[in-house]
Amino acid sequence: MAQRTAVVASRVGLHARPAMIFTNAVAATGVPVTIARPGGDPVDASSILFVMSLGVPHGEEVTLSTDDGAQQVLDELVTLLETDLDAEDAPTQPAAGAGS
């Protein structure tokens, strides 16, 4: 199992726009990924409802995991989470090559 941690950089945490951008990026990889808050149960990271239900605030560390051993995918998702996805110049689509 591959696992990475990331600190959520978006000012509103993983809510609304940042959650949508993140979950779209996860879905685009085609790799099953989970996300969890410290001490919490992991949820499907491609589901905007599950991700938003976590209530992850700005600055909190989350753990991403996959059974597929797709370390590069997790690296790309960590980079995305550690970007302020609420900024006007934030990406709205997964990075080219995500999941490749």
pLDDT tens per residue, range 21-60: 999 999 999 999 999 999 999 999 999 999 999 999 999 9
Tokens 């995305």, located at residue:
80
Instruction: Give pLDDT, residue 94.
Output: 54
CB of 65 closer than 8 Å to CB of 33: yes
Domains and CATH numbers, the chain: 2-81 (3.30.1340.10)
Instruction: Give pLDDT, residue 69.
Output: 73
* Mean pLDDT taken over the chain: 90
In what side-by-side order are the strands of the sheet with 34-36? Answer: 2-7, 61-66, 34-36, 43-44
CB of 45 closer than 8 Å to CB of 60: no
Percentage of the residues of the chain whose pLDDT score is greater than 90: 78
Q: Is the pLDDT of residue 63 over 80?
A: yes
Stated length of the chain: 100
Q: Which residues are catalytic?
A: 15
Helix (H, G, I), strand (E, B) or coil at 26: helix
Indicate the pTM of the whole model. 0.87
